[in-house]
Amino acid sequence: MTPVHATFGEVAAERRIASVPLSHVSVELGHLYMEDFEAGPDRLREQFRRVAPWLATVRSLWRERVPGGRARVSTCFLVDDYFSRFSTPAELVPMVLEAAAEHDLSIDYLARESACAQSGGVELARLVEDRLVDDPPPETDGSRPPVKETGWLCNGSRSPRTAPLQAMGKARPWEPPAQNAKRGHSIFVDVELWDEKGPRRTWSCPFLAAVWQLLRLGLLRSEGRVPLPPVALDGGWPRDWDGLPAVVRLNPQAAPFSAYTTLSVLSPRFLPVELAVRTILSQVAVDDEVLRQVATRSESEGVRLEEELVDRISYVFV
């Protein structure tokens, strides 16, 4: 018999994980929903008026933080075309850019919220769902269905159901919900990630916002590839949202879309949503190799990153 020599390697070792260019911070200048559009251009102007001083502050702080002062700061803007379709890119985008320019703001990237669910054959929401890791409370008995079955995610233990009182039995006393990592007292959060009506699944606003943060942090991969890289638009603005790329590069000289950290300047009405976003992200297991890539590059630049993912995300509510 002729001996056969074979070489076996770990699948993980053979994977090729693409890297992504990174800014130091990605600043979100706002979300746009139907009610904002219906309120007219003045609503946008007021939003940008409030945002402008904070962007200037962020640029200044990062120049002090980065060796040599060469801070890479990119800006982005998100339009909701998932929960409601309103106006058209041809009508809406010039209005947004004009309102921003009135306050000396430049939007580097514009993104569609529906792309956080699915775009170009890539189901980003499913990618993130597959990386959810349950955070069971202490002394759990496994009776609670996993998040992938229920579509609900929480940061602790829910109040147990009270069963009907049996004859000659004792009623189980009510117990409050409890946060896993509480500091003195619990702040219990229970988030609906999606609902399903027949074959159709509708992702919740907090879940899509969590996908949006991971995209901005450059931490998502689809089969090793970077999903939804920004593209420049050829020609004029389309008349339909589906004709618009998922992430459009508006500024050819812009710093990279994804970044080591993110800052979102938002209306206070988004505060409950962002609390839910942080709860979700605390239970997402990002690919180890992607995390190593980002950590190695940040260290080479002398930029210290927080270990916890949610601590790389910050907000200003104005």
Q: What does pLDDT average to in each consecutive run of 10 residues of the chain (318 residues)?
A: 43 73 97 86 93 96 91 97 91 94 97 95 95 78 79 85 59 79 86 93 97 98 94 91 95 97 95 96 96 96 94 96
Contact (CB, 8 A) for 129 and 146: no
Q: What single DSSP character describes residue 254?
A: P
Confidence (pTM): 0.89
Residue 142, class by beta-carbon neighbours within 10 Å (0-12 exposed, 13-18 middle, 19+ buried)? exposed
For residues 309 and 301, give the distance between their C-alpha atoms in angstroms, rounded to a whole number: 19
214-254 pLDDT, tens per residue?
999 999 999 999 999 999 998 889 999 999 999 999 999 99
- What is the pLDDT, as a whole number, of residue 9? 41
For residues 178 and 234, give the distance between their C-alpha atoms in angstroms, rounded to a whole number: 52
For residues 182 and 244, give the distance between their C-alpha atoms in angstroms, rounded to a whole number: 44
| Cβ-proximal residues to 317 (8 Å cutoff; 6+ apart), any chain | 266, 267, 268, 270, 271
- What is the pLDDT, as a whole number, of residue 37? 84
Contact (CB, 8 A) for 55 and 63: no
| Ranges of each domain in the chain | 16-131+204-317
CB count, 10 Å around CB of 250? 18
- What is the pLDDT, as a whole number, of residue 73? 98
- What is the pLDDT, as a whole number, of residue 143? 64
Sign of the torsion angle spanned by Cα atoms 150, 152, 154, 158: negative
Full DSSP string of 32-93: E-HHHHHT-HHHHHHHHHHHHHHHHHHHHHHHHHSGGG---EEEEEEE--SS---S-HHHHH
- What is the pLDDT, as a whole number, of residue 181? 78
